[in-house]
Amino acid sequence: MKVIRKIFISAGMFVCWNSGSVAYAQHEPLPQYQGTIGKTLQDTKQWWPEKVKAPAGAPNVVWIVIDDLGFGATSTFGGLVETPNLDKLANGGLRYANFHTTAICAPTRAALVTGRNSHSVHFGMHPELGIGTPGYDGYMPFEKATVAEILRENGYNTFAVGKWHLTSPSDITPAGPFNRWPTGRGFDHYYGFIPGATDQYHPLLWEDTHKLGDDPQGKLLTTLLTDKAITYIAEQKSAAPEKPFFLYYTPGATHQPHQAPKEWIDKYKGKFDGGWDKYREQVLQNQIKAGLIPAGTQLPPRNPGVKAWNELNPATRKLYARFMEVYAGYLSQTDFEIGRLINYLEQIGQLDNTLVFVLVGDNGASQEGTQVGYVKQNNEDITDEQRLQKNIENIGIIGTAEANTNYPLGWSMAANTPFRYYKRYANSEGGTHNPLIVRYPKLIKEPGGIRQQYSHVTDILPTTIELTGVKVPEKINGYEQAPFEGTSFAYSISDKEAPSRHTIQYYEISGARSIYKDGWKACAFHKAGTDFSTDIWTLYHLAEDVNERIDLAPQYPDKLKQLQEAFDEEATKYNVFPLHERLPGSTRSSYYGREHVVLYPGISTVTHGPGFNKTSFSITADVVLPASGAEGVLLANGGRSGGFSLFVKNRKLYFAYNTGDKVFEINTGDAALPSGHVKLKAAHTYDKENGNGIALFINDRQVSALKTGHAALASSYEGLEVGRDISTPVSTQYAVPFAFTGTINQVDIDFR
């Protein structure tokens, strides 16, 4: 290992590696010239500054994060979904069976990439649902560097591929600022999607900071991501074979929408006809047999609201089994793509020199599919029974590009076996207890082993730093660095009996909260709309009751009080307060609070535009129509799974309003569109009491109107487009992109 020297220059201090020449880090001033300048080149001693080199023998590092995946889903951890590539990684490495996340994706990812608690780095919740306090504003401090920033300062190339979800919506614009995008937080290259989810068939993708269009070959998202990861590695190893790389591979699967190719779904035809109760029983037996959970562990009761499988009628059982077949195909296809990446590393001789971490879930299985699941997201005011009937009618499109699928709560419960509850439940192991795989043949002498030390997502970065031998500079990009808040678990690799070193950990999401300390856990579930002081705390001894079946609060009130006090101490220390509920609709996009928005033709997709749901607004397109007529989209928001579109067709102005399951359409009828300079307007009125309505105007004259009842816009991943509708169409009246053939001067959006 090269000697590290501190060199003082007028601009301040920086860290370098001495290798005969002065080395410099990524964002430091060039060091003082150390050659000599003569009058001619013959009289000159040339000198070049040397770039920082990684420590000798430093491995490549690959972090893989799978989305919305419960403890009991994969075959690797006892589940009934085949994941042979995860199996292979685990059998060649270690299974960490007592690993924990934050219970929801963005906070988990923030804690992962920084090695600090999520609230400590301002990500106590998704950035879209932030509030103006340090624990929740979604602005990750530069004093708490990311893994990419640290490794790049140590001579690594760094790539991120897939889901990011760590940038405030107000910064996700073509104008930036870009300093908290992946390439602003240490990654040399980025390819993926910035928000929390996207469609598998028509993903919204960026490369570095540039918005991309649909893949012309029609590849699914996870395949595209794997292709790009392989390309980045191939280019790096061809250009600089001596340099290690860091790859952050986060496919976004198995987050909704659950979509997969037919051949993957068909693998599971009939495999889940036995239902979720039988699934849980079989998986529990598998987990005990494998040594993942203690012998004698029993299943907790079904979660509230989940019916026994044998109480469902045949049509409902058929529907629900299909939901799980689709999810299983989705997960297996994701496993295949992970295998393709790992196989490439093996093919080029890099696998055994690569430290691999696989987070088998960034939280527990998702509860967002509700009691009955959904094929198409539907924001109409209908009952669960009505939604169930719509799902049965649409069973044939589950998992396809036409659907925005998520499975019902019963399967989420089953996928979290042996634990209770779901994603978002920071008070429950079902939300926070995820598997972890670590593979590094140079140090792991017990391939296939299991580790039961308590560990947390904040521990992965400190562990990576220890295993790679790199150093954390005192300053990165001029910012003095705060210490990690996680604890390295490198000690456990060689000693499965070593006591846990991560002995205390708080959790909090949307007011649900808990604290773990020395094998004990105190928890409080928070019901929305109630006072936090009325929340009931429970107490579990996880060392003997791994899945929280026995509440010991009545027997040990003093222990509960100690843990409640410990929670308050940790919460104060790490920015958890104030406790609050995050309410839908609080997104702070760059358009937040603006009553008037002007959009111009030629812009790329606006992914975080104004919020249109449950509000009154108007759209006015200032256009020029030729005498021969014109057609096409003036403004489209969303796509097939929800949104609206203002467009011209057959010399009529149309407005389509898509709730996800139903499309309301209105046109100007017999009122002919004039040629020349024209203003075309649609006005949406939100009326909670009497029902909503849409009106169309030509040059400020109303020509038609339509009542839409209490239907609300469904969410969509596709964003806002001027002059076209890419990806999928809002309306079946046209095929994408249906670009406008006249001239658009501007489109004005007004909120009232």
Per-residue model confidence as pLDDT tens digits over 131-168? 999 999 999 999 999 999 999 999 999 999 999 999 99
Q: Who's near 675: CB < 8 A, 6+ residues apart?
A: 625, 626, 627, 629
Query: DSSP character for 576?
Result: -
State mean pLDDT over 364-383: 87
b/e string for 447-461 if b means 16 or more Cβ within 10 A? eebebbbbbbbbbbb
Q: Who's near 644: CB < 8 A, 6+ residues apart?
A: 612, 636, 637, 638, 655, 656, 657, 658, 684, 713, 730
Q: Which CATH architecture has domain 60-494?
A: 3-Layer(aba) Sandwich (3.40)
Residue 184 scores a pLDDT above 90: yes
According to DSSP H, which parts of 433-585 are helical?
460-468, 491-494, 557-573
Confidence tier at 20 by pLDDT (50, 70, 90): very low
User: pLDDT tens digits, residue range 23-46?
Assistant: 555 666 788 999 999 999 999 999
Confidence tier at 633 by pLDDT (50, 70, 90): very high
User: pLDDT tens digits, residue range 612-627?
Assistant: 888 899 999 999 999 9
Residue 585 scores a pLDDT above 60: no
Query: DSSP character for 144?
Result: S
User: pLDDT tens digits, residue range 188-230?
Assistant: 999 999 999 999 999 999 999 999 977 767 899 999 999 999 9
User: pLDDT tens digits, residue range 665-685?
Assistant: 999 999 989 999 999 999 999
Identity of the amino acid at 691? G
Confidence tier at 421 by pLDDT (50, 70, 90): very high
- CATH of span 596-751: 2.60.120.200
- Pick from 617, 612, 619, 621: nearest CA to 752: 617
Q: How far apart are CA 388 and CA 307, in angstroms?
A: 14
Q: Please tell me if the domain spanning 504-573 has the same topology as the one spanning 596-751.
A: no
Confidence tier at 594 by pLDDT (50, 70, 90): confident
State mean pLDDT over 689-702: 94
Tell me what pLDDT residue 174 has.
Answer: 87
Tell me what pLDDT residue 295 has.
Answer: 98
Q: At which residue do the structure tokens 């899945």 appear?
A: 547
Q: How far apart are CA 409 and CA 368, in angstroms?
A: 8
Q: At which residue do the structure tokens 């603006």 appear?
A: 594
- Top pLDDT among 597 and 18 is at 597
Tell me what pLDDT residue 714 has.
Answer: 65
Tell me what pLDDT residue 592 has.
Answer: 66
State mean pLDDT over 487-513: 98
Percent over 70 (pLDDT), the chain: 94
State mean pLDDT over 239-268: 97
Question: CA 25, 30, 34, 39: dihedral to nearest 10 degrees?
Answer: 150
Confidence tier at 346 by pLDDT (50, 70, 90): very high
Kindly write down the DSSP assignment for every residue of 59-81, as one continuous string.
Answer: PEEEEEE-SS--TTSBGGGT-SB
Burial class (CB in 10 A: 0-12, 13-18, 19+), 531: exposed
Residue 281 scores a pLDDT above 70: yes
State mean pLDDT over 373-397: 88
Identity of the amino acid at 223? T
Tell me what pLDDT residue 708 has.
Answer: 85
For the chain, give the number of residues. Answer: 752
Of these residues, 105, 202, 502, 526, which one is catalytic?
A: 105
Q: At which residue do the structure tokens 């591979």 appear?
A: 249
State mean pLDDT over 333-339: 99
Tell me what pLDDT residue 23 has.
Answer: 52
- Domain boundaries of the chain, sorted by first residue: 4-51, 60-494, 504-573, 596-751
**Structure tokens, 670:** 């017999």
User: pLDDT tens digits, residue range 293-320?
Assistant: 999 999 999 999 999 999 999 999 999 9
CB atoms within 10 A of CB 573: 13
Number of helices (H), then strands (E), in the chain: 13, 32
Give the number of C-alpha atoms closer than 13 A to the C-alpha of residue 674, restricted to the C-beta side: 10
Work out the mean pLDDT of the chain and round it to a whole number.
93
- Pick from 446, 449, 403: nearest CA to 199: 403
Percent over 90 (pLDDT), the chain: 84
Residue 482 scores a pLDDT above 80: yes
Identity of the amino acid at 18? N
Provide the CA 337 distance to its chain's centre, in angstroms.
18
Q: How far apart are CA 371 and CA 381, in angstroms?
A: 16
The reply to whether 189 belongs to the active site is no
Identity of the amino acid at 605? T
Q: At which residue do the structure tokens 């939300």 appear?
A: 431
Residue 710 scores a pLDDT above 80: no
Of these residues, 165, 456, 502, 526, which one is catalytic?
A: 165
Q: How far apart are CA 505 and CA 627, in angstroms?
A: 69
Class for the domain spanning 504-573: alpha beta
The reply to whether 105 belongs to the active site is yes
Tell me what pLDDT residue 590 has.
Answer: 61
User: pLDDT tens digits, residue range 68-84?
Assistant: 999 999 999 999 999 99
Phi-psi region of 189 (alpha: psi -120 to 50; beta: other; left: phi over 0): beta
- pTM, full prediction: 0.93
For residue 177, whether the previous peptide bond is cis, meaning omega lies within 30 degrees of 0, is yes
Residue 56 scores a pLDDT above 60: yes
State mean pLDDT over 3-22: 34
H or E stretch covering 657? strand 652-658
Tell me what pLDDT residue 5 has.
Answer: 34
Residue 238 scores a pLDDT above 60: yes
